[in-house]
Amino acid sequence: MAKAVMFQGTASDSGKSWLAAAVCRYLVDQGLKVAPFKAQNMALNSFITDKGDEMGRAQVYQAEAARVKPDVLMNPVLLKPSTDKDSQVIVLGKVLADMDSVSYYNYKQKLAPKVLAAYKKLADQNDVVILEGAGSPAEINLNEHDIVNMGMARMADVPVILVADIDKGGVFASIYGTIKLMPPEDQKRIKGIIINKFRGDKKLLEPGNKMIEELTGVPVIGVLPMTDIDIDEEDSVVLSRKNKQVDQSKALDVAVVDLNRISNFTDFHSLEIEPDVSVRYVHEPSELGQPDIVILPGSKNTNEDLVALKKNGFDSQILNAHRKGSRVVGICGGYQILGQRLADPDAIESSIKEQRGLGLLDTETVFNPVKTTTQSIAKHGHFDLKGYEIHMGTTKLGPNARPFATIISTNGKEEQRLDGAMNTDGTVLGTYLHGVFDNEHWTRHFLNEVRVAKGLAPLVNTKVSLSDYKNHQYDRLAQMFKENVDLKKFNAILAGEDK
C-alpha cells in the first residue's frame, strides 16, 4: 500500500489544490510514482479522459504535475451544480443522476465503498497518493455523512496537513477554530499546519506560530509566500480576481463573458499566455466595450444563462460589438447561445422549452438526455485540433452556416462527423471542442487573422507551448514547497513516523 498524506483547508480557496500539485511534482522528482486523489469535487470545470470519463480539473493538473495521465480514479465523485439547489452527480466518470442538495446528502454515504475502492486501487498502483479535501473539515453540519474530508481520512487512515490562507485575515482564529471543532480522534490526525499566501517578513509570524502550536499541539511546518505562479484554476470564485481591465500594452483585447453558470473557463488559459493578448472576464454589459474578440464560454445551464443575458441587456451589447467589428466565438454552451433557436422539449436542462438565441449563427440546438463525453481530434483546414467534448445538445446547421471542423477521431477511434459552425464571412464561430485554443498553431493563425483585420502585421515565431508553460509552473511550485516547508517534518508525516 502506498504512503499517503492529505491536505485539508480552513476554507475554500485556501490553496490546498495547488499545494497538492506542488507535492506531486516534488515527489515525482524524487523518483517516486505519485497519484493525486480527491473523493468528491464540486466544480463546473471538468475534463474528459482518454476513456471518455469526466473528472474535475484540479486532479487533472495535479496529475500533470505528477507526470501521469489523468484517471477518473483520482476523482471518483464529481458534482456539477446546474441551479442553486440541484447538481448533476457524476460517479466514476459517468452521470448517475440529478439530485438536490438534501437528496445527495442522504445518498452520498452509499458512494463511500466506491470512493474507498478507487482510492485503494490508486494506492496499489503507486508509491504515494496525495489526497485533497474539499472546503473545510469544520463544516459541522455536513460531517455526519462526510466522504471527502475527515471521513475520507478515516477511511484511508491517512495523516492530515491543514492549509490556512493568511491573505483572507484571521488565520490563527481559523486554524484554531477548525481544529477545535473536530472530534478529538480527528484532531489527532492533523500532523502539521501550512500557512499560505503570506506577504512580508516571516519573523513577524513566529510568535503567532508558537502560540498556535501550544494551543493546538500541531506544529507549523511551513509558511508559503504569496506568488504569481500560474496554474489552472477549478473554482469560478477565482474569476473575481481575474483581470477586468484591458491591458493597453497588448495588441488584442479578448473579452470572455462571465456567465452565471460558466464552465471550463480553463479553455482560455492558453490565450492568457499569448504575448499580444489581453484577456479579461466581464460580468456586466457595461464592461464589454468594443473588444477584438468576444468569447461566450461553456455553461452548465445554457438556457438559464441565455435568459440572464437577455434580461441584463448583454445580448444587445454582444450584437452591437459584432456589428462594429468584434469577432465572436462560442464554446460548447456559448456556441449553442449563438444560434437561432434552443429547444428543450423534455426539460433535460431546464424548464424553458424553447427560446431564441442571439442569431449570430444559423443553427438550432435540441437538448437530449445523452451526454457526449469524448476526447476528439478535428480537422480545420490544414490544422489538426485536439480537444474534448462535454455536452447534452445536438446542433443542426442551416443554409447560412458552414461547419467549423470535421471530427476525425473520438476516444482514439476513427470517426467522421461535423463540429461547430461559422457564419458566411467567418467573423462568428462556434465549436463543441473545449481546449480548442490549446492548439497553439491554429490559435496563432486565428489571432493573426484578427491582427490583420485590425491593420496590424501578423506575429511570427511566437508559438507558445501550453505544456511547456505548465511544466515550468509546476517546477516553480515544487521549488517553492522545498524552500518554504520543513521537509524533514513533512517526510516524517508522509512516512507515518509522527503517530
User: Of the candidates 310, 371, 372, which has an alpha carbon nearest to the alpha carbon of residue 337?
Assistant: 310
In contact, 271 and 438? CB cutoff 8 Å:
no
Contact predicate 244/286, CB 8 Å: no
Task: Reduce the secondary structure of 301-361 to three states and give it as a string.
Answer: CHHHHHHHHHHCCHHHHHHHHHHCCCEEEEECHHHHHCCCEEECCCCCCCCCCEEECCCCC
Q: Report the DSSP beta bridge partners of residue 89.
A: 79, 97
Cite the active site residues.
332, 434
Residues 336, 305 contacting (CB under 8 angstroms):
no
- Three-state secondary-structure class, residue 66: coil
Q: What is the rounded distance in angstroms from the CA atom of residue 373 to the CA atom of residue 390?
A: 5
In 3-state terms, what secondary structure has residue 55? strand
Q: How far apart are CA 375 and CA 56, in angstroms?
A: 15
C-alpha to C-alpha distance for 75 and 15, rounded to whole angstroms: 18
Q: For the beta carbon of residue 240, count every other beta carbon within 10 angstroms.
A: 10
Using CB atoms within 10 Å of the CB of residue 106, give its burial: 0 to 12 exposed, 13 to 18 middle, 19+ buried: exposed
The span from the CA of 361 to the CA of 340, in Å, is 7
Cα separations (Å) of 369 from 30, 236, 374, 376? 46, 26, 16, 20
- The DSSP secondary structure of 402-468, one letter per residue, reads B-SEEEEEETTEEEEEEE-EE-TTSSEEEES-BTGGG-HHHHHHHHHHHHHHTT-PPP-S----HHH
Q: Which residues of 392-401 are buried (b: 16+ CB within 10 A; e: fewer)?
A: bbebebeeeb
Dihedral pair phi/psi, residue 227, rounded to 5°: -140, 160
The residues near 251 (Cβ < 8 Å, ≥ 6 apart) are 276, 277, 451, 454, 456
Neighbours of 199 (CB within 10 A): 8
Dihedral sign of CA atoms 349, 267, 241, 12 in order = positive
In the sheet with 86-91, reading across from the earlier edge strand, the strands are: 40-42, 77-81, 86-91, 94-100
